[in-house]
Amino acid sequence: MSIKTSLTQRLGIDLPLIQGPMNGVSTIDLAVAVCEAEGLGSLAAAILSPAAMREQIAQLRSRTTRPFAVNLFVLGAPQVDEAQVLRAREWLAPFWRELGVAEELPSQWGQDFPAQFEVLVEAAPPVASFTFGILSAEQIERLHARGTFVIGTATTLAEGRAWVEVGADAVCAQATEAGGHRGTFLVPFDDALIGGFALYRQMAAALAVPVIAAGGIMDGQGIAAALTLGAQAAQLGTAFIACPESSAPPAWKHAVMHASADSTRLTRAYSGRPARGIVNPFMQAMQAHEAELPPYPVQNALTSPLRRAAAKAERADLLALFAGQNAPLARALPAAELVGVLGRETAAVLRAGAALLG
């Protein structure tokens, strides 16, 4: 089965479906399964060292001849405020003690984006996607020279235009419904919480490059709606959390599969950057301190040992349960099977829409 758009034809995929690159969920197995099912699989590489990036991209390339994407966070050097770090450690200390986590400062606050970018240029994946910031025109030219298709994430029309101006080949429109971190980079986060119906249409109408819809899309109805609004593909992240190929801990998968319509909200508690997840006691306990937490990646590094210990102990009350607003629609299917179901659902909705014309 094939659902053709200008973007699917350009990328060489049969379905307008991209597996969202979610750290903590993304695996080589998941990306390969989606690629082989005729979607675009993605490798979340933002938390990988340059050496690990190189190795995982090589492994992915060895297992599929289909196009795939590699995702990075566009970050500058960490801004570390020692007073902020001290306060955050005091607030985190009770949780560390509860799980037996050593109260030590991390050896590094985050990965070196310039070094990661050099590996990306060297590896030359078919597609590279970016969030949290924006590349320079020179950086995009380097990727283009290696044959890499560039996707930039935007949460407002202005951000979408900025990506087009520097030469991006497509823009991923991240609506407020999306799970995980917000990709906002031009305006305050609270000014970029735009719903999908508005954002997808705004960007599709205004931008000269293909738009990819992301946020709250879990089934063929959502994909078809995005296409109808002018998007050329849909990116689904939460939909793949419960797949067996996902690396999400069982407690995270269980939370997604048992989510309700009002289960999620945005929080800075885990990483210092707004991210949508299923509300749990840790989020509630840290809510009063959110405005004073260190920014990403500092808070993310501080909570990393806690999250690892919580995953090992199956403590959903402390885990970062990132998920989108339509998490209740999640299905625990093998990734290839899920892609097939999504493709058939999308085709059925599009046919039903055409039938309305009589």
Domain ranges for the chain = 6-75+111-244+329-355, 80-109+264-322
Judged against a pLDDT cut of 90, whether residue 200 lies above it is answered with: yes
Domain 6-75+111-244+329-355 has CATH 3.20.20.70: yes
Residue-by-residue DSSP string for 232-283 = SEEEESGGGTTSTT----HHHHHHHHT--TT-EEEE-TTTSS-EEEE--HHH
- In the structure, what pLDDT confidence band is assigned to residue 107 with cuts at 50, 70 and 90? confident
Average pLDDT for the chain: 97
Judged against a pLDDT cut of 80, whether residue 358 lies above it is answered with: no
The stretch 98-125 carries a mean pLDDT of 94
The stretch 314-343 carries a mean pLDDT of 98
- In the structure, what pLDDT confidence band is assigned to residue 106 with cuts at 50, 70 and 90? confident
pLDDT at 283 (0 to 100): 98
Q: How far is CA 348 from CA 223, 228, 331, 341, 342, in A?
A: 11, 14, 19, 11, 10
- In the structure, what pLDDT confidence band is assigned to residue 104 with cuts at 50, 70 and 90? confident
Helix (H) or strand (E) run with residue 113 in it: helix 113-123
Query: Which of 10-24, 100-114, 138-152, 189-203 shows the lowest mean pLDDT across its residues?
Result: 100-114
Residues facing 322 on adjacent strands? 277
Judged against a pLDDT cut of 90, whether residue 278 lies above it is answered with: yes
pLDDT at 320 (0 to 100): 98
Distance between CA atoms of 302 and 315, rounded to whole angstroms? 18
